[in-house]
Amino acid sequence: MAVIDLGASVKAVWAGAPAGGTHTVALTRPDGTTFTPPAISGPPVSVEFTPDQAGRWLVRWTSTVVPGAYSDVVDVWPADPRLIISLDDGRAALNMPPNTPQSTLEDLRLYLCAATPVIEDIVGPVLVRTLTQTVQKNWSFAALYERAAALVSVVNADASVVPATSYTFDAAAGLINGKPAVMAGCFGSHLGIVDLRLARDGGGWRTLAARSQAQPMAARGANGTLRADAPGQTAFLAGARNLHAATRRYMARPVGQTGQRLSSHFALVADTAALRLVAAAMADHVRAALKGTGLAGLPVVAAAAPFKAGGRGGPFNFTDIPAGPLARRHVADLYPFTNTICAVLVSGAGLRDWLERSAALYRRLRRGDADQPLIDPDFPSYNFDMMLGLSYRVAPARPALFDAEGRRLRSGPGRILDLRHRGRAVAATDRFVVATNSYRLATWRTGPGCPAPEVVAEAPLQVREVLAHWIAAQAGPVPLPPPGWSLCLPPGAGVLFDTSPLADPSALSPLAATRLGPAPGGFARFRLSA
CATH number at residue 20: 2.60.40.10
Count of C-beta atoms within a 10 Å radius of residue 111? 12
Cα 228 to its chain centre, rounded Å, is 29
Give the SS3 label for residue 241. Answer: helix
Query: Containing H/E element for 180?
Result: strand 179-180
Instruction: Tell me the C-alpha distance between 44 and 124, whole Å.
Output: 48
**Does the residue 383 lie in any domain?**
yes
My answer on whether 118 and 206 are in the same domain is no
For residue 485, give the 3-state DSSP assignment: strand
Backbone angles phi, psi at 339, to 5 degrees: -60, 145
One domain for residues 71 and 27: yes
Rounded Cα distance between 225 and 245, Å, is 19
CA distance 358 to 380: 10
Residue 233 lies in a domain: no
Task: Give the pLDDT score at 452.
Answer: 72
* Beta-carbon contacts of residue 68 (< 8 Å; ≥ 6 apart): 62, 368
Looking at the fold, whether 56 and 32 belong to one and the same domain comes out as yes
178 and 309, same domain (yes or no): no
Residues 350, 471, single domain; the answer is yes
Q: Are 392 and 417 in contact (CB under 8 A)?
A: yes
Nearest CA among 363, 360, 344, 358 for reference residue 301:
344
Residues 316 and 383 in one domain: yes
Residue 366 CB partners (closer than 8 Å, separation 6+)? 28, 58, 60, 71, 372, 397, 490, 493
The reply to whether 348 and 421 lie within a common domain is yes
pLDDT at 264: 95
- Residue 112 has a CB neighbour count (10 Å cut-off) of 18
What's the rounded Cα separation, in Å, for the pair 28 and 73? Answer: 9
Euclidean distance between CA atoms 50 and 6, whole angstroms: 8
In this structure, what DSSP letter does residue 65 have?
S
Query: Does 501 fall in a domain?
Result: no
Is residue 199 included in any domain, yes or no? yes
| Same-domain status, 217 and 289 | no
Region for 205 from its dihedrals, namely left if φ exceeds 0, alpha if ψ lies in -120 to 50, beta otherwise? beta
H/E stretch holding 206 reads: strand 204-216
Could you tell me if residue 305 is inside a domain?
A: yes
Phi, psi (5° rounding) for residue 151? -95, 125
Q: Are 216 and 359 in the same domain?
A: no
Report the domain count for the chain.
4
Residue 109: predicted pLDDT: 83
How far is residue 102 CA from its own chain's centroid? 38
CATH number of residue 264's parent domain: 3.90.780.10
Name the stretches of the chain with pLDDT < 50.
Answer: 1
**What size, in residues, is the chain?**
530
Does residue 204 sit within a domain?
yes
Q: Do the domain assignments include residue 98?
A: yes
pLDDT of residue 295: 94
**Strand ranges (DSSP E) for 15-113?**
23-28, 34-35, 45-49, 55-63, 69-77
* 321 and 343 share one domain: yes
**How many helices and strands in the chain, by DSSP H and E?**
9, 33
- Which domain range does residue 58 map to? 4-77
Q: Residue 268 phi/psi, 5° resolution? A: -85, -10
Burial (0-12, 13-18, 19+ Cβ within 10 Å), 376: middle
Residues 102 and 73 in one domain: no
As a whole number of Å, the end-to-end CA separation of the chain is 29
Q: 447: buried, middle or exposed (CB in 10 Å: 19+, 13-18, 0-12)?
A: middle
The model's pTM is 0.66
- The one-character DSSP state at 58 is E
